[in-house]
């Protein structure tokens, strides 16, 4: 039977050695990257291998012809699963390794794991010299958790190519994390690695799976042996540092620094070191490492961007702006992201005009939503409420949380502008869509209070407390309302005490406690709570409460000083003016 016109396309070695550096972006280190497959060389090698095959002499029967045509037609009609099964049946009948190879390829590409296992096993049986067949069979067995079935194949592969043993263990390392029974995987790889005590990659493979199972002591011991066997291996050094970092960060950082003194060209370790320094807020040292990386990779915009963000974090705003502008000019970094950070930088410089201009240039990507919100904030701050609302309207909304947030911001802007009716309408319209949103309900209650709707105010807060029984600020708002209006004092105090039990460090709630005791005539307790609140936040309302309580307590000089100091800081506060007029003038 002549099937030479149906050349078999070799599978790329997808699962070859690729042990990875412990970096945030998961980039593989240079010495563990999978080999680059040259298509022409691969095809030539396949042709040479095919010429050496001991091909079967099979008579072309009607059944064989039918199965061959079935597979061929199925492929032409876009049904790879049917084609794979047909070619596997044909391979079993003919015992032709080329057909087995094709069945393996088709079944793998169409994600038929059971068929793939059969096809690769048959291919490996018919072409035992094929390293690819053996490696792919091993990868499928390990990925499926069939550890014991993979053992003989792994041992055979290691024995047949001792110089490639390191690559085999790297391959194992990429596959074992997929095994569900991690403890079984650790025992298995420990057994496989035991005959190779002088092979760094064997210790590395055990260390990796030991870390996944949570056996940190074993992982450290194994990776230390890998480092001792191959002290230049950056991936092993980086992994050891990763294991040490949570509990011994100084030791881990010192180890990386020492390694880089000897192996200065290890970009992967230097990148990990730079990021680790950044995580531990050693900004100057981190920036220096990033700059060293950039010096050898001047076109790497991500490195330049990282340096700019570190300068921004350090508060070196002019330098950060220069670095961000340089990143923008290189044109390889997402411009919208750079514009967003330039806007943040100019906000920090209190140059809101430039910041607003930069935010408006963020038109796509992950920062558009945040940019529209900051744009709205700056416009509202500048007194451009209508334009601020337009900016909120242009914010891209991808979740209900974002939809609620945008409407809350709009309502709060209107409330701050004392446009209470407009704010209330925004809230009521949004509550039609999200009737159980605690944030919307609380804001609606605050506006109802401003509009003088006490019944609606109480009803809304009661509904909120049914939805969220631990909403401290709802208890506080309702209780304080009773206390401030000097009605239902006992109930009001109980509500405020409930709030205080939930949030004892909250300044507003502490103030409410003090004011409640004032209403109840317990002046000593009142002053104690109000002093605490005023010490944390010299808000004019808290100052008014403390001043009045002190005055009534008889400490008139202290009360007068607090009230007058507060009025100097807040000359337009009507409550303070009224109290000073009542008690002092």
Give 480-492 pLDDT, tens digit per residue: 999 999 999 999 9
- State residue 585's pLDDT score: 72
Q: Over the chain, what is the mean pLDDT?
A: 86
Q: Which residues pair with 28 in a beta bridge?
A: 20
- State residue 95's pLDDT score: 80
Query: What are the residue ranges of helices labelled H in 77-164?
Result: 80-94, 97-109, 113-126, 131-143, 147-160
Name which of 467, 456, 492 is nearest 477 in CA terms: 492
Is the per-residue pLDDT at 23 higher than 60? no
Query: What are the residue ranges of helices labelled H in 144-199?
Result: 147-160, 165-175, 182-193
pLDDT bin (cut points 50, 70, 90) of residue 214 is: very high
Lowest mean pLDDT among 147-161, 362-376, 521-535, 555-569: 147-161
Tell me the C-alpha distance between 362 and 513, whole Å.
Answer: 46
Is the per-residue pLDDT at 33 higher than 70? no
Is the per-residue pLDDT at 508 higher than 60? yes
227-231, long-range: CB < 8 A, 24+ apart: 227/200, 229/198, 229/199, 229/200, 229/203, 230/200, 231/262
Name which of 368, 338, 372 is nearest 356 in CA terms: 372
- State residue 96's pLDDT score: 79
- Per the model's pLDDT, the better-predicted residue between 47 and 343 turns out to be 343
Give 142-197 pLDDT, tens digit per residue: 877 888 888 888 888 788 888 889 988 998 888 888 888 899 989 999 999 999 99
Is the per-residue pLDDT at 265 higher than 80? yes
Tell me the C-alpha distance between 500 and 507, whole Å.
Answer: 10
Looking at residues 273-296, what average pLDDT do you find? Answer: 94
pLDDT bin (cut points 50, 70, 90) of residue 102 is: confident
Looking at residues 260-265, what average pLDDT do you find? Answer: 94
- State residue 119's pLDDT score: 76
Q: Are 448 and 459 in contact (CB under 8 A)?
A: no
Tell me the C-alpha distance between 560 and 583, whole Å.
Answer: 8
Q: Are 314 and 285 in contact (CB under 8 A)?
A: no
pLDDT bin (cut points 50, 70, 90) of residue 122 is: confident
pLDDT bin (cut points 50, 70, 90) of residue 584 is: confident
| Phi/psi at 20 (5° precision) | -110, 150
- State residue 54's pLDDT score: 59
Is the per-residue pLDDT at 74 higher than 80? no
pLDDT bin (cut points 50, 70, 90) of residue 139 is: confident
| Phi/psi at 383 (5° precision) | 85, 10
Lowest mean pLDDT among 58-72, 175-189, 271-285: 58-72
- Per the model's pLDDT, the better-predicted residue between 75 and 332 turns out to be 332
Looking at residues 520-536, what average pLDDT do you find? Answer: 97
Is the per-residue pLDDT at 368 higher than 90? yes
Q: Are 483 and 503 in contact (CB under 8 A)?
A: no
Looking at residues 19-48, what average pLDDT do you find? Answer: 39
pLDDT bin (cut points 50, 70, 90) of residue 35 is: very low
- Per the model's pLDDT, the better-predicted residue between 103 and 373 turns out to be 373
pLDDT bin (cut points 50, 70, 90) of residue 359 is: very high
- State residue 469's pLDDT score: 97
How many CA atoms within 13 Å lie on the side-chain side of 260?
20
- Per the model's pLDDT, the better-predicted residue between 585 and 540 turns out to be 540
Give 377-408 pLDDT, tens digit per residue: 999 999 999 999 999 999 999 999 999 999 99
How many CA atoms within 13 Å lie on the side-chain side of 91?
30
- State residue 57's pLDDT score: 56
**Rounded percentage of the chain residues whose pLDDT exceeds 90:** 66
Looking at residues 229-245, what average pLDDT do you find? Answer: 95
Is the per-residue pLDDT at 425 higher than 90? yes
In angstroms, the first-to-last Cα distance of the chain is 116
Tell me the C-alpha distance between 104 and 46, whole Å.
Answer: 15
Looking at residues 546-572, what average pLDDT do you find? Answer: 95
- State residue 198's pLDDT score: 96
- Per the model's pLDDT, the better-predicted residue between 84 and 29 turns out to be 84
Is the per-residue pLDDT at 518 higher than 50? yes
- State residue 354's pLDDT score: 97
Q: Are 512 and 531 in contact (CB under 8 A)?
A: no
Give 341-350 pLDDT, tens digit per residue: 999 999 999 9
Tell me the C-alpha distance between 326 and 342, whole Å.
Answer: 12
pLDDT bin (cut points 50, 70, 90) of residue 539 is: very high
**CA dihedral for 244, 248, 251, 252, sign (positive or negative):** positive
**Rounded percentage of the chain residues whose pLDDT exceeds 70:** 86
Is the per-residue pLDDT at 26 higher than 60? no
117-126, long-range: CB < 8 A, 24+ apart: 117/141, 117/144, 118/88, 119/84, 119/87, 119/88, 119/91, 122/88, 122/91, 122/92, 123/91, 123/97, 124/153, 126/91, 126/95, 126/96, 126/97, 126/100
């Amino acid at each position: 039977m002549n099937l030479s016109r149906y050349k078999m396309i070799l599978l790329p070695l997808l699962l070859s050695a690729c042990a990875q550096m412990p970096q945030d972006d998961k980039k593989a280190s240079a010495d563990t990257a999978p080999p680059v497959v040259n298509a022409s060389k691969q095809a030539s090698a396949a042709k040479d291998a095919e010429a050496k095959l001991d091909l079967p002499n099979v008579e072309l029967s009607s059944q064989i012809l039918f199965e061959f045509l079935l597979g061929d037609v199925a492929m032409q009609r876009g049904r790879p699963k049917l084609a794979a099964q047909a070619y596997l049946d044909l391979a079993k009948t003919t015992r032709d390794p080329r057909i087995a190879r094709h069945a393996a390829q088709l079944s793998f590409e169409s994600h038929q794991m059971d068929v793939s296992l059969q096809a690769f096993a048959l291919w490996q049986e018919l072409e035992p010299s094929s390293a690819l067949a053996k490696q792919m069979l091993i990868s499928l067995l390990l990925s499926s958790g069939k550890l014991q079935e993979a053992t003989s194949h792994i041992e055979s592969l290691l024995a047949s190519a001792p110089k490639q043993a390191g690559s085999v263990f790297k391959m194992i390392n990429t596959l074992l994390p997929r095994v569900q029974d991690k403890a079984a995987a650790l025992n298995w790889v420990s057994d496989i690695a035991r005959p190779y005590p002088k092979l760094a990659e064997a210790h590395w493979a055990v260390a990796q799976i030991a870390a996944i199972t949570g056996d940190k002591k074993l992982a450290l011991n194994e990776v230390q042996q890998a480092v001792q066997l191959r002290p230049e291996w950056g991936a092993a050094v980086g992994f050891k540092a990763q294991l040490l970092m949570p509990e011994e960060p100084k030791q881990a950082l010192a180890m990386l620094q020492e390694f880089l003194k000897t192996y200065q060209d290890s970009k992967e370790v230097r990148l990990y070191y730079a990021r680790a320094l950044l995580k531990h807020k050693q900004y100057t040292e981190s920036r220096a490492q990033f700059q060293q990386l950039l010096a050898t990779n001047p076109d790497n915009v991500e490195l330049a961007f990282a340096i700019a963000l570190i300068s921004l974090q350090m508060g070196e705003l002019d330098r950060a702006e220069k670095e961000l502008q340089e990143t923008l000019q290189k044109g390889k970094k997402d411009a919208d992201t750079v514009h967003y950070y330039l806007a943040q930088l100019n906000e920090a410089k209190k140059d809101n005009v430039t910041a607003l201009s930069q935010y408006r240039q963020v038109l796509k990507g992950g920062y558009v939503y945040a940019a529209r919100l900051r744009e709205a904030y700056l416009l509202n701050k500048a007194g451009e409420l209508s334009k601020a609302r337009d900016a909120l309207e242009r914010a891209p909304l991808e979740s209900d949380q974002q939809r609620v947030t945008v409407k809350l911001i709009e309502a709060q802007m209107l409330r701050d502008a004392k446009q209470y009716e407009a704010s209330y309408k925004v809230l009521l319209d949004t509550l039609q869509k999200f009737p159980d949103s605690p944030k919307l309900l609380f804001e609606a209650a605050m506006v109802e209070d401003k509009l003088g709707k006490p019944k609606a105010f109480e009803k809304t807060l009661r509904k909120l407390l049914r939805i969220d029984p631990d909403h401290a600020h709802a208890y506080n708002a309702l209780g304080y309302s009773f206390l401030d209006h000097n009605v239902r004092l006992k109930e009001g105090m109980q509500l405020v005490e409930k709030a205080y039990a939930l949030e004892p460090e909250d300044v507003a709630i502490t103030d409410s406690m003090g004011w409640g005791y004032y209403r109840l005539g317990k002046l000593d307790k009142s002053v104690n709570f109000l002093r605490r609140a005023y010490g944390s936040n010299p808000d004019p309302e808290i100052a008014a409460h403390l001043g009045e309580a002190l005055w009534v307590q008889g400490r008139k000089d202290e009360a007068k000083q607090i009230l007058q100091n507060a009025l100097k800081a807040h000359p337009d506060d009507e409550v303070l003016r009224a109290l000073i007029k009542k008690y002092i003038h």
